[in-house]
Amino acid sequence: MTSTTSRHFRISAPASTANIGPGFDVLGASLSLYLTLDVHVGGDSNSQDFEMTYSGEGAKDVPLTPEHNLITKAALYVLSANGIQQLPRPLKIHVDNPIPLGRGLGSSGAAVVAGILLGDALGQLKLSRSRLLDYCLMIERHPDNVAAALVGGFVASYLRELSPEDMEGIPESESLLELGWNKNIKCIAIVPQFKVATAEARSVLPSSYQRQDVIFNFQRLAVLTTALGQNPPDSDLIYNAMQDKVHQPYRKTLIPGLPEVLSSITPEKYDGLLGICLSGAGPTILALATKNFDAIANAAQAVFKEHGIQDSFYKVLDVVEDGSTCVDL
């Protein structure tokens, strides 16, 4: 038996919430819930073994073959773009995922970011953060979740307009800005026990919008980017700035009780509530608050129950400053 240098490293990528009301495909914030990969590579150079194990959310459904798993597919994408056609062997990966799948908490964004970091580490490519994001965006074409998951914190981003020729390589495709987030603001994620695939939630959106609806969102988005960093937070300003006319009204067909949850839980009724919206493409509800977390979550759960959604759970999460990491062990 011959042996090569072995490496053991851990990749961690946070969950994220996108849109935050009016910021459809623009705003994202990373949340204190982490997908982790424990990776062992090298050692016995005669071994061609590949082993992928998985615990947590999606353990029953997620495929564990390199060509089918979203994490390893993303890693293979980075490697092949850099002239490496296969994952190095022997390779063992253990995935632990506490992020519910298809619920609007950025599970696919975290998986894509973790996979891109995996490819970078396995190929020893040492890509810059901005190039890593370019690769992420070749896989997940809206920047909000992946930008927040990679960089961490509260982030606004936009995609550059690219020509078809640009798309032949891995173009430099995005710009982002890290925004201020008041640390006293917690994110209550109320998660109903059913999935809405992002692709389906995007398919119900119109292809064009009325001018007044677009202006409604622009006005609120501009205010919200600063309002969430202020101390003390202004609940009236934030609650109204988190209203949206671009995606939530159309997604109510997929999420029973959505309009009622959003309209019935207000700062007047719940001291400490700042705003409430759909998290990402849903069905999770995101409530921002400084206190009364249980009462706010219970109220949302009660409305879901009235609309036939009996099972849901909630988590009180922080917006975390650190994004994704890859650390040698």
Ligand X SMILES: N[C@@H](CCO)C(=O)O
Q: Which is nearer to ligand X, 10 or 202 (by Cβ)?
A: 202
| 197 is an interface residue for ligand ATP by CB under 6 A | yes
Q: Residue 312 binds which one of ligand ATP, ligand X, none, with CB within 5 to 8 A depending on kind?
A: none
Q: Residue 144 binds which one of ligand ATP, ligand X, none, with CB within 5 to 8 A depending on kind?
A: ligand X
Torsion angle (degrees, nearest 10) of CA 197, 201, 202, 207: 160
Binding-site string for ligand X from residue 227 to residue 256, where x marks contact by CB under 6 A and - marks none: --------------------x---------
Neighbouring C-beta atoms of residue 45, cutoff 10 Å: 14
| 106 is an interface residue for ligand ATP by CB under 6 A | yes
Q: Residue 142 binds which one of ligand X, ligand ATP, none, with CB within 5 to 8 A depending on kind?
A: ligand X
Choosing from 101, 125, 205, 254, the residue that interacts with ligand ATP (CB under 6 A) is: 101
Query: 317: helix, coil or strand?
Result: strand
Q: Which is nearer to ligand ATP, 198 or 217 (by Cβ)?
A: 198
Binding-site string for ligand X from residue 174 to residue 213, where x marks contact by CB under 6 A and - marks none: ------------------------x--xx-----------
CB 233 within 8 Å of CB 227: yes
Choosing from 9, 25, 99, 118, the residue that interacts with ligand X (CB under 6 A) is: 25
**322 Cβ contact partners less than 8 Å away, ≥ 6 residues apart:** 14, 30, 152
Cα–Cα distance list, 168 to 48, 67, 136 (Å): 32, 22, 15
Where in 101-160 is the site for ligand X (CB under 6 A)? 142, 144-145
Question: CB of 243: closest distance to ligand ATP in angstroms?
Answer: 19
Cα–Cα distance list, 205 to 202, 251, 253, 298 (Å): 6, 8, 11, 29
Neighbouring C-beta atoms of residue 5, cutoff 10 Å: 8
DSSP 255: S
| 58 is an interface residue for ligand ATP by CB under 6 A | yes
| 24 is an interface residue for ligand X by CB under 6 A | yes
Query: 67: helix, coil or strand?
Result: coil
Q: Residue 275 binds which one of ligand ATP, ligand X, none, with CB within 5 to 8 A depending on kind?
A: none
Q: Residue 103 binds which one of ligand X, ligand ATP, none, with CB within 5 to 8 A depending on kind?
A: ligand ATP
Q: How far apart are CA 108 and CA 96, in angstroms?
A: 14
Q: How far apart are CA 301 and CA 286, in angstroms?
A: 12
In the complex, the residues that contact ligand X under the rule CB under 6 A are 18-19, 24-25, 142, 144-145, 198, 201-202, 247, 280-281
